[in-house]
């Protein structure tokens, strides 16, 4: 039998998601957008929820029209899941996530 940590599970479930888009033909990089704008871009790229509905279909996508999208889950303490990855491999995106963007 495994131990179930109620506090850890409630913290995991209370995450929030942030939505980002980037256009391949723009030098502006990633931009935070609303959930609906993200969904509209997904649909424009041909992605739809597997079981129907009108929600987000992917955790991230790239399309042949040059638009890319990603969803980042944020912990209750305000830091992104995978923060170490972003810090190490995508410092500009990490700065955007943490509100330290020059853009």
Q: Is the pLDDT of residue 67 over 80?
A: yes
Q: Is residue 5 part of a domain?
A: no
pTM > 0.85: yes or no: no
- In the sheet with 67-74, reading across from the earlier edge strand, the strands are 31-33, 16-23, 67-74, 60-62
Percent above pLDDT 90 for the chain: 31
pLDDT of residue 43: 93
Q: Band of the pLDDT at 54, cuts 50, 70, 90?
A: confident
Which has more confidence, 103 or 45? 45
Q: Is residue 41 part of a domain?
A: yes
DSSP state of 23: E
Q: Is residue 1 part of a domain?
A: no
pLDDT of residue 12: 64
Please give the average per-residue pLDDT across 72-80, as a whole number. Answer: 86
Q: Is residue 9 part of a domain?
A: no
Q: Is residue 4 part of a domain?
A: no
Q: Is residue 10 part of a domain?
A: no
pLDDT of residue 82: 86
What SS3 class is residue 30? coil
Give the residue numbers spanning the domain of 69. Answer: 15-97
Q: Give the count of domains, the chain.
A: 1
CA distance 88 to 46: 32
CA distance 80 to 3: 26
Query: Which residues have a Cβ under 8 Å from the Cβ of 37 and sit 6 or more positions away?
Result: 19, 21
DSSP state of 93: H
Q: Band of the pLDDT at 71, cuts 50, 70, 90?
A: very high
């Amino acid at each position: 039998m495994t131990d179930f940590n109620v506090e850890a599970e409630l913290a995991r479930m209370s995450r929030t998601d942030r939505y980002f888009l980037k256009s391949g033909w723009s030098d502006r990089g990633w931009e935070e957008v609303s959930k609906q704008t993200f969904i509209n871009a997904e649909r424009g790229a041909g992605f739809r929820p597997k079981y129907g509905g009108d929600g987000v279909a992917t955790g991230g996508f790239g399309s042949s029209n040059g638009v890319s999208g990603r969803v980042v889950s944020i912990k209750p303490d305000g830091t992104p899941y995978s923060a170490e990855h972003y810090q190490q491999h995508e410092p500009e995106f990490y700065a955007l996530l943490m509100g330290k963007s020059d853009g």
